[in-house]
Homo-oligomer: A and B are copies of this chain.
Amino acid sequence: MPSNLVVRCFSVSADGYGAGPGQDIDNPMGVDGMTLHEWVLPTRIFQKMLFNKEGGTTGPDNDFAVHGFENIGAWILGRNMFGPVRGAWPDENWKGWWGDEPPYHCDVFVLTHHPRAPIEMKGGTVFHFVTDGIEAALQRARQSAGSKDIRLGGGVATIRQYLHARLVDELHLAMAPSLLGSGESLFANIDLPRLGYKVTQNVATAKATHLVLTRDS
């Protein structure tokens, strides 16, 4: 069975925004964007990953967060998800938001218009910079992932490109009970049923409504 391209744990506001406006180094998720992630921060897996703390919540929120990292052999990220730098890379200093040991532990393909040498990080994460488009990035990710799945991390613009191309096999969205009002809309002018997607799973918790969208083959 070939590996799937999956979006997992992608948080969206009730009004459809996947990030707040005004992303910068102080607001990696955009202004108020962190309100989208309140479902995941207290979970057992995130408490462990982010703060190396035991404890944290269990239940569906944690289950979805855990599943997000299962059987993933490679990642694809849009450049804005990799960092706040725009345009040509001024130097080699920026190495992602995640410190010396990012939580990926595999090859991560970063879409960009500006070439840059790969960066090898602690713990097995290697950032590769792909300048020849979304299909090329997917092809390289497939080679790296082998039989495992490829997780498309975001952001919104990158996910929309892969959706339009019908390349995403499954999306898990966590719809947060909050409003952002502006920013990047996941749904604007994209007809998901027409692209073959339907809701195949629906699990609501106090902090998010988890929807899994699957594409027909």
Contact = CB atoms under 8 A, between A and B. Distances in A.
A173 B16 CA distance: 14
Given A204-B205, A205-B204, A15 B181 contact: no
Contacts of A206: 202, 204
Nearest to A213: B179
A64 B55 CA distance: 36
A152 B126 CA distance: 54
A162 to B, nearest CB: 17
B204 A179 contact: no
Given A15-B192, A204-B204, 15 more contacts: A14-B173, A14-B175, A177-B199, A177-B202, A178-B198, A178-B199, A179-B193, A181-B191, A181-B192, A181-B193, A181-B195, A182-B191, A182-B194, A185-B188, A204-B209
Interface of A, helix, strand, loop or mixed by DSSP: loop
Interface in A135-194: 173, 175, 177-182, 185, 187-188, 190-194
A8 B185 CA distance: 25
B181 A194 contact: yes
Contacts of A185: 187-188
10 contacts: A14-B173, A14-B211, A175-B175, A177-B202, A178-B199, A181-B190, A181-B191, A188-B188, A202-B206, A204-B205
A127 interface: no
A197 interface: yes
Interface string A124-138: 000000000000000
Q: Give the size range of A's interface with the partner.
A: 20 to 34
A35 B210 CA distance: 18
Contacts of A182: 191, 194
Contacts of A188: 185, 188
A10 to B, nearest CB: 13
Contact of A209 (B15, B175, B181, B213): B175
A90 to B, nearest CB: 33
